[in-house]
Chains A and B, each alone.
Chain A
Amino acid sequence: MKYYAETHEWIEVVDGIATMGISVYAAEELGDLTYVEMPAVGKAFAAGAVIGTVESVKAASDIFAPIGGTVSEVNDALADDPALLNQAPEGDGWICRLKDIKEDDLKKLLTAEQYQKTIAE
């Protein structure tokens, strides 16, 4: 099941490994993305910590870790083609995977339905 942060990241846990990225709404709001700065594999982050940065022609924005964990993999395809983040932000445009995650942190996140409500406001 996908969860969302108020800061517009999504995260999905499968077999103890979390995959995260930015939401469709965030990608649309940011406009054409030109660069993604990704975390180093092996680095640990607490929930809410800045895990990376996305840059569009408009601005640079921080990406926050929705839950605590250690980076196990980053999406190398994004380095070559940041446009993936616009084309499929919640699919092929995932940013990184986390292991050793703090599953309790998921409770503080929004469900897809709750998230849709907040962005509609």
Chain B
Amino acid sequence: MELIFNQGAAGRRGVRLPKCDVRPFTASDLPASLRRGAPAALPEVSELEAVRHYTLLSRLNMGVDTQFYPLGSCTMKYNPKINERMAALPGFANQHPLLSQLRKGGSLCQGSLEVLYETERMLSALMGFAATTLQPMAGANGELTSVMMFAAYHKARGDQRRTVMLIPDAAHGTNPASAAMAGFDCREIASNADGDVDLDALRAALGDDVAGIMLTCPNTLGFFDKNVEKVVELVHQAGGLAYCDGANFNAIVGRVRPGDLGFDAMHVNVHKTFSTPHGGGGPGAGPVGVSEKLVPFLPKSRVVKHADGSYSLAYDYPQSIGYIAPFYGNFGILLRTYTYLTMCGREGCKRISENAVLNANYIRARLAPYYEQKFTRYCMHECVLSARPQTRFGVHALDIAKALLDAGFHAPTIYFPLIIPEALMIEPTETESKEMLDRFCDAMIDIAKKAESDPEAIKRCPLTMPIGRLDEVSAARQPVLTARPCC
């Protein structure tokens, strides 16, 4: 496809702007060092050219609105369109993001503050925590917020020795990165033969240098740790805190409240569990719920409700870890969360997790005869299969992922979690019908059979995509990071 920069002609315009009625910003308003030598080479196209270009691009894309998208660990559920309608309401969409922080500005955006207050209240109730902050802009941002609060908690108690964060090997890959960014050293804890945290390994790792544990629950194997309460108890006994990575909350929402299990903090990816658009890097939001003992350390500002029913932002929290994000987080995404939660209600939330778990187990059971399963127990929201049986014929997880594209499905997550060789991590979510799950399973079974009878055909996939098999190795070894005139 032609790049937009190569389309159109000099001087062509899609929009005629009205005559400017304020003094225009000119180059002389800028210091010479910041001025361009030549005008920016922006595309000059008509409205029709722009519309065609982006419509064609959208047709090359795969999304939840076009395809089944079982990308494990990502909860690519359908995003109800009412979310978009609410977010587009002019009263929300046209509000200045700094309004609530201006003096007396809060009185002009009571609706938005109420949405934030109520969203926090609903999330606190679902997670089982004393309070929630909506500030973190993404899941990993929520992880960082949580472990920064752990650090502040230990520091406030005068306990400076706790520099180690425990991270089980079935945790999300961002956990050690977040802990390291907050200044902790990471210590890995092995899984046992069932895919749960190895309690002996945990006991051996605990000491007075341990600040806490980051437990992905359910974990990346798709399992709910049978000993989760014991894990939390052991960490607490050693003086540490327990954080629940709630990226997989979809599996337990409405059924289990991590606060009841003893966790001290948890983030939830609203862009996974509570719909809202997701993928391609955002926008997202990773609200964090905390138990009573971490409330003083929550980021500020915080939304408060007054006796007269009005709302405002409050700033007087001397032990707070400070700002995590500007504008109180990604408001547009939080508004979609509020809409989704209001539409689902308490009973609806239970059915989310019920059906997400049922769908994943249906796929797991149907594909069990064809792909390897290291752990033969019920899974939660996702099932992790291995393409190890197919490697005998020279077919790998990557080849199966490519063959799925030709069958009309987005590929699952592959080669993750790292503790399963040739992993295929499949998360159907609750929004898919049985007919769709069957079509997907049929395609996976076909691929498994073909891997044996005609492996070369699988290794040639994809054949129906706009471009064929990508050379990922050269792309990684010799990346070309500038746009070239043609492709």
Which residues 39-86 of A sit at the B interface, judged by CB distance below 8 A? 55, 57-59, 61, 82-83
User: Which A residue sits closest to B421, measured CB to CB?
Assistant: A29
Contact with A along B452-479 (1 / 0, CB 8 A): 0000000000000000000011001100
| A35 at interface, CB cutoff 8 A | yes
Interface residue tally on B, bucketed by range: under 10
Q: Is A34 engaged at the interface, CB distance under 8 Å to the other chain? A: yes
A32 to B421, CA, bound (A): 15
Contact A57–B476 (Cβ < 8 Å): yes
**Among candidates B416, B418, B421, B472, residue contacting A57 with C-beta atoms closer than 8 Å:** B472
CB distance from A88 to the nearest CB of B (A): 17
Closest A residue to B417 by beta carbon equals A59
- Which residues of the other chain, B, contact A58 by a CB distance below 8 angstroms? 414-415
The residue from A29, A59, A61, A82 contacting B477, defined by CB atoms under 8 A apart: A82
> What's the Cα separation between A89 and B442 when bound, in Å?
40
A34 and chain B: residue at smallest CB distance: B476
Number of interface residues of A (CB under 8 A): 11
Contacts A29-B421, A32-B473, A58-B415 aside, 8 further interface pairs with beta carbons under 8 A come to A32-B472, A34-B477, A35-B476, A35-B477, A55-B476, A57-B472, A59-B416, A83-B477
CB distance from A12 to the nearest CB of B (A): 27
A83 neighbours in B (Cβ, 8 Å): 477
Which of chain A's residues have a CB closer than 8 A to the CB of B416?
A: 59
| A78–chain B nearest beta-carbon distance, Å | 12
- In whole angstroms, what is the CA distance A32 to B414 when docked? 15
Contact with B along A81-115 (1 / 0, CB 8 A): 01100000000000000000000000000000000
Q: A74 to B297, alpha carbons, bound, how many Å?
A: 45
Q: How far is the CB of A72 from chain B (nearest CB, A)?
A: 26
- Chain A's closest residue to B478 (CB) is A34
Q: Is the CB of B473 within 8 A of A34?
A: yes
- Residues in A with CB closer than 8 Å to B415 are 58-59
Residues of A within 8 A of B473 (CB): 32, 34, 57
- The interface residues of chain B, by DSSP majority, are classed as mixed
Within 8 A of A (CB), among B404-456: 414-416, 418, 421
Identify which of residues 31-73 in chain B touch chain A, using a CB-to-CB cut-off of 8 Å. none
**Complex contacts, A32 vs chain B, CB 8 Å:** 472-473
What 8 A-B pairs come out closest when comparing CB atoms? A34-B476, A58-B415, A32-B473, A57-B472, A34-B477, A59-B418, A59-B415, A57-B476
Most buried by B among A35, A59, A83: A59
Distance between Cα atoms of A59 and B473 in the complex (Å): 12
| Residues in chain A near residue B418, CB distance under 8 A | 59, 61
Complex interface residues of chain A between 15 and 52 (CB less than 8 A to chain B)? 29, 32, 34-35
Please, how many angstroms separate the alpha-carbon atoms of A32 and B477 in the complex? 10
Query: What residues of chain B lie closer than 8 Å to A59, measured between beta carbons?
Result: 415-416, 418
Q: List 9 A-B contacts (CB under 8 A).
A: A29-B421, A32-B473, A34-B476, A35-B477, A57-B472, A57-B476, A58-B414, A58-B415, A59-B415
Q: How far is the CA of A59 from the CA of B425 in the complex (A)?
A: 15
Q: How far is the CA of A55 from the CA of B418 in the complex (A)?
A: 13
A29 to B423, CA, bound (A): 12
Q: How far is the CA of A73 from the CA of B472 in the complex (A)?
A: 30
Residue of B nearest to A55 (CB): B476
Residue of A with least CB distance to B473: A32
- State A53–B261 Cα separation when bound (angstroms): 36
Shortest CB-to-CB span from B384 to chain A, Å, is: 15
Within 4-22 of B, Cβ neighbours of A (below 8 Å) are at none
Task: Provide the bound-state CA to CA distance between A120 and B415, in Å.
Answer: 21
Most buried by B among A32, A57, A61, A83: A57
B107 to chain A, nearest CB (A): 51
Give the most central of A34, A55, A83: most B CB within 10 Å: A34
CB distance from A23 to the nearest CB of B (A): 15
Chain B residues within 8 Å of A82, by CB: 477
A95 to B477, CA, bound (A): 18
A83 to B416, CA, bound (A): 23
Chain B residues positioned under 8 Å from A34 (CB to CB):
473, 476-477
A53 to chain B, nearest CB (A): 13
A88–B473 alpha-carbon span in the complex (Å) = 17
- Which of B415, B418, B473 is the most central at the interface, judged by chain A CB atoms within 10 Å of its CB? B473
Min CB gap A80→B, angstroms? 10
Docked complex Cα distance between A83 and B476 (Å): 11
Q: How far is the CB of A54 from chain B (nearest CB, A)?
A: 12
A58–B415 Cα distance when bound, in Å, is 6
Chain B: CB-nearest residue to A58: B415
Give Cα A34–Cα B418 distance, bound, in whole angstroms: 17
Return B259 CB to nearest CB of chain A, in Å.
33
What are the interface flags for B328-346 relative to A under an 8 Å C-beta threshold, 1 for contact and 0 otherwise? 0000000000000000000
Q: Which residue of B lies closest to A81 (CB)?
A: B477
